[in-house]
Structure 1
Amino acid sequence: MPESSPPDVAARTASLVQGILAQKGIDRTPEADTILSEVGLTSLDLVNLMLAIEAEFDITIPASHLSPQSFRTLNTITEMVRAVRGTATLAA
């Protein structure tokens, strides 16, 4: 299975974040390097985002990637998803 292009992962991730922000009544589109906690995502929102990312990309995020740094910005999430997808095939 070919790896999705980075814009695809980034766009899908941005859509998930915007959905969570919209549920909170926040009408903002974060930039790729915007710190998500600064636009209104709480730690509970980040847990929900993690679960949404696992479902969206059909992955299980390993404990080694479950850190605040992995979910700091859209860029860090995109890089984490790409890393997990790269190793997920080897672990399966």
Structure 2
Amino acid sequence: MTEKLSDTARTTMIEPLLKDGWSMVDGRDAITKDFKFSDFADALGWMVRAGVWAEKWNHHPEWSNVYNTVTVTLTTHDVDGLSTLDAKLARKMDILAS
């Protein structure tokens, strides 16, 4: 079962993400990031690739798409906060977007 991140795990797993464009969500134990692409097709293609990983890991993002921008929020609802799954999916999303 997934557990909420400890303070030590937050330092090692979330802080590097914050330096790479992710930010904490006000009022929630969650992280968010806007991904910008050249056009709608690139944004949608990235969502499909990221969605395959989310489904494989059974960890689904909160996200929305407006033309070339995808806004992602990650949190683990089962633990009411951030878990290793959020850090793992955030890193994968960053890799897929690069």
TM-score, normalized by the shorter chain, greater than 0.5: no
Compute the TM-score of the two structures, normalised by the length of structure 2.
Answer: 0.34
Between Structure 1 and Structure 2, the one with more strand by share is 2
Between Structure 1 and Structure 2, the one with more helix by share is 1
